[in-house]
Amino acid sequence: MKLWGGRFSKDTNELMKKFNSSFYIDKRLYKQDIKGSIAHVRMLGKVNILSTEEVDKIINGLEGILKDIEEGSLKLEGDYEDIHSFVEANLLERIGETAKKLHTSRSRNDQVAVDMKMFVKDEVFNTVFKIDNLIECLIKKGRENEYLMPGFTHLQPAQVITFRYHLMAYVEMLKRDKKRLLNALYILDESPLGSCALAGTTNEIDREFTASELGFRCITKNYLDSVSDRDYLIEILSAFSILMMHLSRLSEEIIIWTTPQFKFVTLSDEYSTGSSLMPQKKNPDSLELIRGKTGRVYGGLINILTTLKALPLAYNKDMQEDKECFFDAIDTVNICIDVMTGVIDTMKVNKEEMLKSLKKGYINATEVADYLVKKGVPFRDAHEIVGRIVLYCEKTNRAIEDLKLEELKSFSEEIEEDIYEYIEYSNILKKGNKKYILMEVE
Ligand code: ARG
């Protein structure tokens, strides 16, 4: 069944039919499409465009279709142009001629716009819950492993931090990701239904009614914009891209930490794989895949941005391309968050290896300089003095705290016995604003 046969005298070319059909993708919107139609029909009854009997008949039919799809007796397959045609054709089969009244004062343009917004609302909240789980998991892992570790800049040992504090940096990123998604969900929460094709309808319909039936905050204002706005997909995909960038950075760090050169953490076998050739291998494929799939989500963002660039108002068929990349992106994001949560939850943190690594790289050198500043040495001079101490340590292959007092004194007379207490790694975090590194601040 075609929704637009009247003005055509030739049949659609077979290749064109295939090319035009979006059913294999937008069948995923069946629930939103049917719910949207039910709200629309209720509204048509309320404003007396349809009779109560007609409304009841159509709603019964639509509810039956939904039930049959969910129970599996009605398969989402066949030669349909899109999900909208599928539902209408099935309705016609079930309830007969009354089905033809469903599409009164509606176009597929506002229909697909409302369907997609409903889908995004339903699904993105689910992603937000997943982010919450990951946040909880990181907080828990951090609490259980409050060990000293070197912090890095340029991937070179820099200053002492704790493993928990490092994970908490990702908690901050994820909290921002959540805010971005919730903000996008707030902005999109306006119903476009009733905008029709691009210019509303001469019938006295009630858009506020359908908006509130479908749980929208309010209605959109401009019909042209309503049917051609896909900003919300761009916003969500951009929030997804940033989120994936965060997951990818975390993946990369954990991958580095699992190497024998670092050994800070050991991944669970559950989230690792082996090599078909090298028997000793245990590879962090879970994390590599998260890192790899990041590009795929970025691709979705660029896809939609490019599709919409220079597109004239109002609806154009180009917009049909919005779904495939969005669905792929949300599926990718969801599985990546879940896998990351599993990896973090099951990985083992190696306290001893982290402690050993504190000694590599002079990560208390800055505190030696701070110590000299306390004794009245200008910071620039202190920096120079400590630089020379580090050079000496490098030559004699020792850590700063392993030098004897006389050796230290040969660089500055200001250095006294209390230096050792001052630059001891765990003491460092008790001083100044480093205290916050040890605190749980929400
Ligand atoms: N399948 C279309 C889409 O996803 C639905 C809207 C079609 N509207 C139209 N006038 N051809 O964008």
Q: What is the whole-number distance in angstroms between the Cα of residue 163 and the centre of ligand 1?
A: 51
Best of 17, 26, 33, 112 to mutate for ligand 1, by most ligand atoms within 8 A of CB?
112
User: Nearest C-alpha to atom 7 of ligand 1 is from which residue?
Assistant: 108
What are the tokens at 40?
Answer: 């629309």
Q: What is the whole-number distance in angstroms between the Cα of residue 312 and the centre of ligand 1?
A: 15
Catalytic residue among 9, 73, 154, 276: 154
In DSSP notation, 163-178 reads HHHHHHHHHHHHHHHH
| pLDDT for residue 440 | 86
User: What are all long-range contacts of 373-377, with beta carbons under 8 Å and residues at least 24 apart?
Assistant: 375/414, 375/415, 376/414, 377/412, 377/414
What are the tokens at 385?
Answer: 């003095």
Q: What is the whole-number distance in angstroms between the Cα of residue 3 and the centre of ligand 1?
A: 11
User: Nearest C-alpha to atom 12 of ligand 1 is from which residue?
Assistant: 320
Q: What is the whole-number distance in angstroms between the Cα of residue 20 and the centre of ligand 1?
A: 9
User: Nearest C-alpha to atom 4 of ligand 1 is from which residue?
Assistant: 320
Best of 4, 21, 81, 82 to mutate for ligand 1, by most ligand atoms within 8 A of CB?
82
| pLDDT for residue 442 | 67
| pLDDT for residue 389 | 98
pLDDT per residue of the chain (442 residues) written in tens, 0 to 9 = 777 878 898 999 999 999 999 999 999 999 999 999 999 999 999 999 999 999 999 999 999 999 999 999 999 999 999 999 999 999 999 999 999 999 999 999 999 999 999 999 999 999 999 999 999 999 999 999 999 999 999 999 999 999 999 999 999 999 999 999 999 999 999 999 999 999 999 999 999 999 999 999 999 999 999 999 999 999 999 999 999 999 999 999 999 999 999 999 999 999 999 999 999 999 999 999 999 999 999 999 999 999 999 999 999 999 999 999 999 999 999 999 999 999 999 999 999 999 999 999 999 999 999 999 999 999 999 999 999 999 999 999 999 999 999 999 999 999 999 999 999 999 999 999 999 999 987 6
Q: What is the whole-number distance in angstroms between the Cα of residue 350 and the centre of ligand 1?
A: 55
Q: What is the whole-number distance in angstroms between the Cα of residue 109 and the centre of ligand 1?
A: 6
Catalytic residue among 51, 268, 275, 426: 275
Q: What is the whole-number distance in angstroms between the Cα of residue 244 and the centre of ligand 1?
A: 30
Q: What's the predicted TM-score (pTM) here? A: 0.96
Best of 18, 320, 325 to mutate for ligand 1, by most ligand atoms within 8 A of CB?
320
| pLDDT for residue 374 | 96
Neighbours of 435 (CB within 10 A): 10
Distance CA 252, CA 224 (A): 45
Question: Going from the N-terminus, what domains does the chain have, and what CATH number goes with each?
Answer: 14-101 (1.10.275.10), 108-146+161-356 (1.20.200.10), 365-423 (1.10.40.30)
Question: Taking CB atoms and a 6 Å cutoff, what residues make up the pocket around ligand 1?
Answer: 22, 26, 82, 108-109, 112, 315, 317, 319-320
Neighbours of 398 (CB within 10 A): 14
Best of 12, 317, 326 to mutate for ligand 1, by most ligand atoms within 8 A of CB?
317
Q: How far is CA 47 from CA 204, 265, 273, in A?
A: 7, 65, 62
- Please confirm, yes or no, whether 275 is among the known catalytic residues: yes
Contact partners, residue 366, CB within 8 Å, separation at least 6: 159, 386
Q: Scan for tokens 């033809």, then name that residue.
A: 100
Distance CA 262, CA 255 (A): 10
Contact partners, residue 181, CB within 8 Å, separation at least 6: 124, 127, 128, 131, 236, 239
Q: Which atom of ligand 1 is nearest to the CA of 82?
A: 1
Distance CA 401, CA 26 (A): 65
Contact partners, residue 14, CB within 8 Å, separation at least 6: none
Q: Which atom of ligand 1 is nearest to the CA of 81?
A: 1
| pLDDT for residue 5 | 79
